[in-house]
């Protein structure tokens, strides 16, 4: 850790100006507004928190997973990847990095439990939320 913030690796490599962030979201902005993308970011941070609590992880691995998720989506678009899969992978990697023993099967099963409990499933490549299984699903 550097004693001077301006020479630290965080300042040199992980502080992004607004135009860079706006450019990183170019593909996603074709499908959603900037406000909707901000809401998505908050939504996924809350999901990481919920799955992390179900796995009984400490706050440090959960925060690390959130940072991994946000950094991943600085370089990739939400619409080109499956954010739920990335979310579970970030939790697993963060737990490993922070030396918290978590088995991959438990991460997958807890993530699945949280996602199905929130009525999240995938139809024709589109994630649908807030629907009950009894309602008609558009094709």
- What digits encode the pLDDT tens for the residues 97-129? 999 889 999 999 898 888 887 765 554 445 544
- E strand or H helix at 55: none
Maximum separation of any 2 CA atoms in the chain, in Å: 58
Q: Which residues on adjacent β-strands are paired with residue 127?
A: 122
- pTM recorded for the entire structure: 0.77
Q: DSSP letter string over 58-95?
A: -HHHHHHHHHHHHHHHHHS-GGGS-HHHHHHHHHHHHH
Predicted local distance difference test score (pLDDT) of residue 50: 94
> Residue ranges per domain, the chain?
5-102
Contact predicate 97/54, CB 8 Å? no
Under CATH, which architecture does the 5-102 domain have?
Orthogonal Bundle (1.10)
Burial per residue of 22-33, b for 16 or more beta-carbon CB atoms within 10 angstroms, e otherwise: eebbeebeeeee
């Amino acid at each position: 850790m550097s004693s001077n913030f301006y020479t630290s690796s965080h300042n040199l490599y992980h502080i992004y100006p607004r135009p860079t962030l706006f450019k990183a979201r170019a593909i996603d902005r074709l499908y959603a507004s900037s406000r909707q993308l901000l809401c998505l970011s908050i939504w996924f941070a809350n999901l990481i928190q919920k799955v992390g609590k179900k796995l009984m992880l400490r706050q440090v691995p959960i925060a690390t997973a959130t940072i991994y998720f946000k950094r991943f989506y600085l370089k990739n678009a939400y619409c080109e990847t499956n954010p739920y899969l990335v979310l579970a992978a970030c939790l697993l990697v963060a737990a490993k990095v922070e030396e918290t023993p978590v088995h991959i099967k438990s991460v997958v099963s807890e993530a699945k439990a949280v996602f199905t409990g929130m009525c999240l499933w995938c139809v024709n490549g589109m994630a649908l939320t807030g629907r009950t299984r009894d309602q008609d699903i558009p094709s």
